[in-house]
Amino acid sequence: DGKAKYTGRFVETEFFIEEQTEDKIKYRNVFGTQRDGGVLTNAFDLTLKNVANTNVLQWGERLYVFWEAGRPYEMNPDTLETLRSVTEDGPLKGLGGMDCKVRGITIDEGGPIDNIVNTGKSFTAHPHVEDDDTLIGFKIETNAQTKFLTLEFTEYDSKWNEKKSTKFSVKDSLPPHDFSVSKSYYTFFDNPYGEMDNLRYLIGLKAPTQIMQLALRQPTKVHVVPRSEGQDPVTVELDHSYFCIHLNGLSEEKDGKLYLYSTGWDLTDERFFPQSQESAPFLGAWGGPYPDFTRGKVPPSLLYETVIDVEKGTVVSHEEVRPGIVIEFPTQEEDKPNMMYLAIAAEEYTSLPSTGLCRINTETREMETWWADNKQFTHEVIPVKKQNGQPGSWLLTPLYDAGKRRTTIAILDSEDFEKGPVCRLNLKHHVTYGLHGSFARQSPPVVNDSLPPL
């Protein structure tokens, strides 16, 4: 009908409600926020606040928000209210009790000890839609006794019923932030981490990411896990250290080879990762209240193509798709997975906030760009296939105008990408900078669930 409506709400987790009610920090956080009082108030408390801030997806007539170190939260898709009466099915099935205090770490794989100490599994923040009846995600647990990380890749139909699941375990590794799905495989990068000072975390001096180290001389591994039974997983190594941030959700298999596209950091880049050292802090220049781009110390995120010969168990190549182009948040068109959209920051390896959008044809490596106006910042692009036989996709993305201090929902046409937005929906305020989003064609039936007042 040519109209648009905006609704925005915080995800009202139990952590959020408690802190809002008391107007104080009550829980420790992954990226550094601690309770006041130092060691006396934070020591030996391993409960981390579920910030529920990484991704949002409507699937099977239900809306969930995801954060990879915790459980998903279900929302009312019409009002965006956080549902209190949750059913332990869909992405919540098999994660352990809803009141688990520590997630992603288990002791006896969901047995009596885990029930007593309130530990359970977590769920990835990057589930991927393969088709109208296939969504794929994974559950995460690291056994505190054996040190084995286990990912349970689970495929769901359009009603959140489990179609099949596959477990893969690897020792002394941390969970991946993202993964990719092809016709035959689930694939993820095993990023190289160094020794962590767990004691400083346990006694409350540091948050988890503050004790993490990147191993600069350890080759990065890639794990290729078959989707079907009867085939063994394959692990290959790059010839250097590389840190993968995001992957293309759907990867391709061509001529017996697997083609992956990922954004990440080159850990051999001397400007940001001193090669005289064995390791470097994970947060590095990203630490503190905000990343300081003015000193030139923030490592650039680059787009890489990694080709794997699965049968031979070798890496054929790992190289930049467009050398020097600093980009992030890769997404793909539904019918053209080779057409990749990204937020672009700069060229010549200069790390800056993104102020443009680009489209890269991964087959030809041709690139088109659109740059936003002065003081406008870009974000992830959500391609939406056009209806009624029209070619191409509508491209939805939020723009933040720092001059006017407001957010705009911009819509571009994939058939005329470089022209820029064909429609701008200007909000009257700014929306807090987020991470990932999704698109749903129609609102499902309203779920009746009442919320207690804050």
Instruction: Count the alpha carbons within 13 Å of 258 in the hemisphere toward its beta carbon.
Output: 30
Read out DSSP for 266-328? ETT-TTTS-TTSSEEESSGGG-SSS--GGGT-SPPPEEEEEEEETTTTEEEEEEESSTT-EEE
How confident is the model over 57-113, as pLDDT tens digits? 999 889 999 999 999 999 999 999 999 767 788 899 999 888 888 999 998 888 888
Rounded CA-CA distance 221/182 in Å is 18
338 token code pair: 């080779």
**Residues 198 and 147 sit within 8 Å (Cβ to Cβ):** no
Global pTM value: 0.93
| Helix, strand, coil distribution of the chain in percent, nearest 5 | 10, 40, 55
What is the pLDDT tens value at each position of the chain, 454 positions in all? 678 889 999 999 999 999 999 999 999 999 888 888 888 899 998 889 999 999 999 998 899 999 999 999 999 999 999 997 677 888 999 998 888 889 999 988 888 888 888 899 999 999 999 999 999 999 999 999 999 999 999 999 999 999 999 999 999 999 999 999 999 999 999 999 998 888 998 999 888 989 999 999 999 999 999 999 889 999 999 999 999 999 999 999 999 999 999 999 999 999 899 999 999 998 887 777 777 787 778 899 999 999 999 999 999 999 999 999 999 999 999 888 899 999 999 988 998 999 999 999 999 999 999 999 999 999 999 999 999 889 999 999 999 999 999 999 999 999 999 999 999 999 988 987 788 999 998 754 545 444 444 3
b/e burial code for range 16-55 (CB count within 10 A of at least 16 → b): bbeeeeeeeeebbbbeeebbeeeeeebeeeeebbbbbbbb
How confident is the model over 245-274, as pLDDT tens digits? 999 999 999 999 999 999 999 999 998 999
Rounded CA-CA distance 8/381 in Å is 19
273 token code pair: 């990762």
Name residue 364's amino acid: T
The vertex-268 CA angle with 263 and 274, nearest 5°, equals 125
From residue 313, alpha-carbon distances to 181, 234, 235, 270, 301 in Å are: 18, 6, 7, 30, 27
175 token code pair: 């969970």
Read out DSSP for 349-384? T------EEEEEETTT--EEEEEPPTTEE----EEE
**Residues 308 and 260 sit within 8 Å (Cβ to Cβ):** yes
Give the chain's radius of gyration (CA, Å).
22
